[in-house]
Chain A
Amino acid sequence: SQKIEQNSEALNIQEGKTATLTCNYTNYSPAYLQWYRQDPGRGPVFLLLIRENEKEKRKERLKVTFDTTLKQSLFHITASQPADSATYLCALDMGRRALTFGSGTRLQVQP
């Protein structure tokens, strides 16, 4: 069956460092992958989309990579700030009209 895996353990880093979050998937070759941010008690907010033919995408301090051979996406936040603390979800197109979401990784940036 289709599966998306994100590290369920929280990631704790110091302010100013680069945070790297991982999204692994199995049994499918998605046309694109998306990353969302979710704050406590709120709905997810779209951040970035990367297509299967793109290796890397950037937006300000955010960078996403997509390795279709490894079936993995990495999400980087450079020069992290306490305001970046949130849960980050990856989502994939898996051949139906609706996206399939991972369970998310919580990031905590310490000042």
Chain B
Amino acid sequence: DVKVTQSSRYLVKRTGEKVFLECVQDMDHENMFWYRQDPGLGLRLIYFSYDVKMKEKGDIPEGYSVSREKKERFSLILESASTNQTSMYLCASSFDGGDTDTQYFGPGTRLTVL
């Protein structure tokens, strides 16, 4: 069974802290994605990666960075957390061999920045 796991379900941080969100997939997928989801705004793509050490900006990359040192792991970094980064963060992965991009999602991390 395919699996995407995220390091925390709930996280509370203070303004200015550096925050790491970790995502691991066990499906040997090439592509990995980070989204944030806010009421009324849907899923918005922050960054994605199509290979180890490769990354591309999504629609809202400001205030975030990512790291992909190993194929199975994709980290989202908030360099200096701010209250407007309070959100649900979702990681996903997909296979790069076919002509579709069906994505498999993790359970999400609900981050609160105080």
Chain A interface residues toward B at CB < 8 A? 8, 31-32, 34, 41-46, 49, 89, 91, 93, 97-104
**Bound Cα distance A100, B45 (Å):** 8
B58 within 8 A of A: yes
When the two chains form their complex, are residues B107 and A42 in contact, meaning their CB atoms are under 8 A apart?
yes
Interface-side segment among B12-20, B35-43, B63-71, B73-81: B35-43
A94 → B minimal CB distance (Å): 11
Cβ of A77 to closest chain B Cβ, rounded Å: 20
Assess whether A97 is in contact with B31, with CB atoms less than 8 Å apart.
yes
Chain B residues with a Cβ closer than 8 Å to the other chain, count: 26
**Cα–Cα, bound, A98→B94 (Å):** 9
Find chain A residues with CB under 8 A from B4 CB. 43
> In the bound complex, what is the Cα–Cα distance between A41 and B48 (angstroms)?
22
Residues of chain B from 20 to 42 with CB closer than 8 A to chain A in the complex: 31, 33, 35, 40-42
Which listed residue (B40, B42, B102, B108) contacts A43, Cβ 8 A?
B108
Query: Could you list some 5 contacts between A and B, CB below 8 A?
Result: A41-B110, A43-B105, A93-B101, A98-B56, A98-B101
Q: How far is the CA of A10 from the CA of B61 in the complex (A)?
A: 30
The CA-CA distance from A89 to B35 in the complex, in Å, is 14
Complex Cα gap A104–B88 (Å): 15
Whether the Cβ atoms of A101 and B43 lie closer than 8 Å is yes
Q: How far is the CA of A1 from the CA of B50 in the complex (A)?
A: 24
- Chain B residue at minimum C-beta to C-beta distance from A49: B100
B99 within 8 A of A: yes
Cα–Cα distance between A104 and B45 once the two chains are bound (Å): 15
| B102 & A34 in contact (Cβ 8 Å cutoff) | yes
Residue of B nearest to A93 (CB): B101
Q: Which chain A residues lie closer than 8 Å to B108 at the CB level?
A: 41-43
